[in-house]
Amino acid sequence: MKKLPILFENNRKWASQISQNNPSFFSRLVQQQNPEFLWIGCSDSRVPANEIIGLLPGELFVHRNVANLVSHTDMNCLSVLQYAVEILKVRHIIVCGHYGCGGVKAALEDQPHGLIDNWLRCIRDIHQRRSSDLARFSTAEERINRLCELNVIEQVKNVGNTTIIQEAWQRDQMVTIHGWIYAISDGLLKDLDACVSSTSDLASLESL
């Protein structure tokens, strides 16, 4: 017996719609993927990477985790990054957070959440390091949203400081890291102006 029939029905409709628009779409896609972009985003169900930037299968390589973190000990994220940069040769890496991120909120709460508190610990560290920036905002919601932005900027730095990106820049491979944030409330993206394409860009961002 098939489980979740509605999802299979949705899938058949989706595949036939794509084939109607472009009969060779899937047969061409099976040959290779050639994405220009790597997306590092939050697992939140309201932030579906391909859809919000209007990209089709084959156009976006994706890594998502709770609170869009790039940890230097996360083999999963680093493996995605290495494959994207060294094999797929993506030109752009987009770190995209979102306002009202549950992971960021949970990181600031006093009550324990179990295992995930270890994952979210680095957000508490950002909160402590950037306390003067955050103090400019009067409401808790504004402070959380600013911390969502600061978290993106920290993760852009983390991507830039990986051996993968450092080595790519050393061999003059063009790869740019972007920091974006998405508003669930209106579906719009904002560029956080934390764009880095070189070690000197990264040093400028680090000094902010």
Binding residues for Co ion, rule CB under 5 A, total 4
| Residue 184 or 203 with smaller CB distance to Co ion | 184
Element (H, E) at 38: strand 37-42
According to the binding rule CB under 5 A, does residue 44 interact with Co ion?
A: yes
How far apart are CB 89 and Co ion at their closest, in Å?
Answer: 29
Q: For residues 88-117, which are near Co ion according to CB under 5 A?
A: 101, 103
According to the binding rule CB under 5 A, does residue 154 interact with Co ion?
A: no
Q: How many CB atoms lie within 10 A of CB 177?
A: 25
Cα–Cα distance for residue pair 153/130, rounded to 1 Å: 12
Q: Is 98 a catalytic residue?
A: yes
Cα–Cα distance for residue pair 64/55, rounded to 1 Å: 16
According to the binding rule CB under 5 A, does residue 149 interact with Co ion?
A: no
Q: Which stretch binds Co ion (CB under 5 A): 40-48, 114-122, 152-160, 170-178?
A: 40-48
Cα–Cα distance for residue pair 202/93, rounded to 1 Å: 14
| Residue 77 or 175 with smaller CB distance to Co ion | 77
Q: Which stretch binds Co ion (CB under 5 A): 19-27, 42-50, 80-88, 115-123?
A: 42-50
Q: Is 77 a catalytic residue?
A: no
Q: Is 74 a catalytic residue?
A: no
Surface-to-core class of residue 176, CB atoms within 10 Å of its CB (0-12 exposed, 13-18 middle, 19+ buried): middle
How distant is the alpha carbon of residue 99 from its chain centre? Answer: 13
Cα–Cα distance for residue pair 41/39, rounded to 1 Å: 6
Strands 60-65 and 37-42: parallel
The active-site residue out of 28, 46, 121, 129 is 46
Q: Which of 172, 171, 158, 164 is nearest to 82 (CA)?
A: 164
According to the binding rule CB under 5 A, does residue 42 interact with Co ion?
A: yes
End-to-end CA gap in the chain: 58
How far apart are CB 98 and Co ion at their closest, in Å?
Answer: 5
The active-site residue out of 63, 77, 96, 98 is 98
Q: For residues 7-36, which are near Co ion according to CB under 5 A?
A: none
| Residue 57 or 102 with smaller CB distance to Co ion | 102
- Which sequence positions are flagged as catalytic? 42, 44, 46, 98, 101
What does the binding site for Co ion look like in residue numbers (CB under 5 A)? 42, 44, 101, 103
